[in-house]
Amino acid sequence: MGGGTALAGVTSALSLISLSGGGTAAAATATTALTIPPLLSATTTDGVDVYTLDMQTGTHEVISGVTSSSAGFNGSYLGPTIKVANGDSVRMDVTNNLGADTTVHWHGAHVPAKVDGGPQVAFASGETWSPAFTINQEAATLWYHPHALGTTAKQVSQGLAGMLIVDDDSDTSAALPSEYGVDDIPIILQCLASSAAGDVKYDVTGYRSSGLVFPVLVNGVNADSTTFTFAATKRRIRLRFLNASLSDIITIQRSDGATLTQVATEQGYLTSATEVSTIRLVAGSRAEVVIDAADAPTIQAVITTGWIAGGSGTYPILSITDNSSDTPADLPSTLNTITRYDTSGFTARTITLGQSGATMLINGVAGTTEAAMEANMIMTTVGAKEIWTIKNSTQLEHSFHLHDVPFQVISINGTAASGVDLGWKDTVEVIGTGTVVIAMEFTDYADDTYMYMLHCHLAQHEDEGMMAGLMVTES
């Protein structure tokens, strides 16, 4: 069993950003080799690949040179990357050594509700949870993180997050870079809130305290005054971006203004490689791009506050140099076939995101207890095809996430989806007073005991009640 190791901090000059988030980040004063999370090995027993994860506490340099209390999987901060393939039988042996209840949600995974990792399956410190399931989806970049009631923001902010990569045997997967750490590179981005002394904040009280800084981390290492470097030994590089922030929005772009070639959204490949000038990732979102190392590009992250306070500025996060000698084949002209839904016969629902003071609501109910979520349950059946209007009745930013099934975006604020928004999604931005229409089909898994979730992925909003249950039954 090859467990992950703690991610080491990098000492660099501290760049402070004011509470108001004004101005731009300081120019990087140093370069440091990109830290890549270790790839977790499995042991195989009776045809089942078993991955072992130990949730543990520790310390970490969220601010360079300053020690913070932290938590991680198989280490003191973040977790190893888990790479599986469509059709694999897997078991996740997850041991809780946090001193508090927790869960682990396989964000974006199409799995039975009882192993999805929602609040119903929370387990105590000292216990091991061992969900077993078969990987049942096309290639995609997913992630894993805690999902217990009222503690998601705290535990994720401490560092409990890791990337989960699904591979498949499609021609597209064979044509794209896939050697982990060589030409297939995870980029886990976080903007956190911290006191100058390293006390990481996660709730309203913490975010309203004075003297906050908002460090930006790349794969767990502070990026405030460092540009990370990657010496490419293959000319075509695949970058998998994950916004693992609690609430901040992160926009990816090239420093020279050139386009990025995006090949995938959260739930799979686009129909074709698409040139985009920027990629906007709300909390929980992912995207995949391919880069020609010969361009020697520098990738920037633009941080925008998504909650009551947060980071701000433009950070050069990754500089790629070309040490390759190969000449890659052209990308396939077609990456995926996505048949757009004809929603004329779909069951329609309206999901209203609301608030009452500091309490967040879905359809008028705060999902802060299992009883409340059950009372406010969305009930559907295997085979159901539905179209949801996600209506934001607040002035606040929300990041809507649906468990279990991928969805298609039909329209955003009255405008039909286009470009990369036509790809399969599981998380979508809903701006203040905005409306997003999505469509989905519920397949494969039914359960009349365990529920999935639909919620805002601004983790603070989730903890404050913007979460409802979703139960998929046979009939």
Residues 217-276 have pLDDT tens digits of: 999 999 998 999 999 999 999 999 999 999 999 999 999 999 999 999 999 999 999 999
Q: How many CB atoms lie within 10 A of CB 221?
A: 24
pLDDT at position 28: 54
Burial class (CB in 10 A: 0-12, 13-18, 19+), 358: exposed
Residues 372-405 have pLDDT tens digits of: 999 999 999 999 999 999 999 999 999 999 999 9
E strand or H helix at 250, and its extent? Answer: strand 249-254
Instruction: Assess whether pLDDT exceeds 60 at residue 13.
Output: no
Calpha distance 318→371 (Å, rounded): 46
pLDDT at position 27: 52
Length of the chain: 475
pTM of the model: 0.94
What is the arithmetic mean of pLDDT over 95-100? 98
Calpha distance 71→79 (Å, rounded): 9
pLDDT at position 225: 87
Average pLDDT, the chain: 94
Instruction: Assess whether pLDDT exceeds 90 at residue 111.
Output: yes
Give the distance, in angstroms, between the CA of residue 249 and the centroid of all CA atoms in the same chain. Answer: 12
Calpha distance 328→446 (Å, rounded): 44
Instruction: Assess whether pLDDT exceeds 50 at residue 20.
Output: no
Instruction: Assess whether pLDDT exceeds 70 at residue 95.
Output: yes
pLDDT range class, residue 188, cuts 50, 70, 90? very high
What is the arithmetic mean of pLDDT over 115-130? 98
User: What's the count of helices (H) and strands (E) in the chain, helices before strands?
Assistant: 5, 37
For the chain, list the domains and their CATH numbers.
34-168 (2.60.40.420), 184-322 (2.60.40.420), 343-473 (2.60.40.420)
pLDDT at position 114: 98
Residue 408 exposure: Cα atoms within 13 Å on the Cβ side: 21
Nearest alpha-carbon partner for 246 in 397, 353, 95: 397
DSSP classification of residue 171: H
What is the arithmetic mean of pLDDT over 66-91? 98
Sign of CA dihedral 460, 315, 252, 22: positive
CB 470 within 8 A of CB 297: no
Residues 269-299 have pLDDT tens digits of: 999 999 999 999 999 999 999 999 999 999 9
What string of DSSP letters covers 280-302? Answer: EE-TT-EEEEEEEGGG--EEEEE
State the pairing for strand pair 140-145/162-167.
Answer: antiparallel
What is the arithmetic mean of pLDDT over 403-416? 98
Instruction: Assess whether pLDDT exceeds 50 at residue 409.
Output: yes
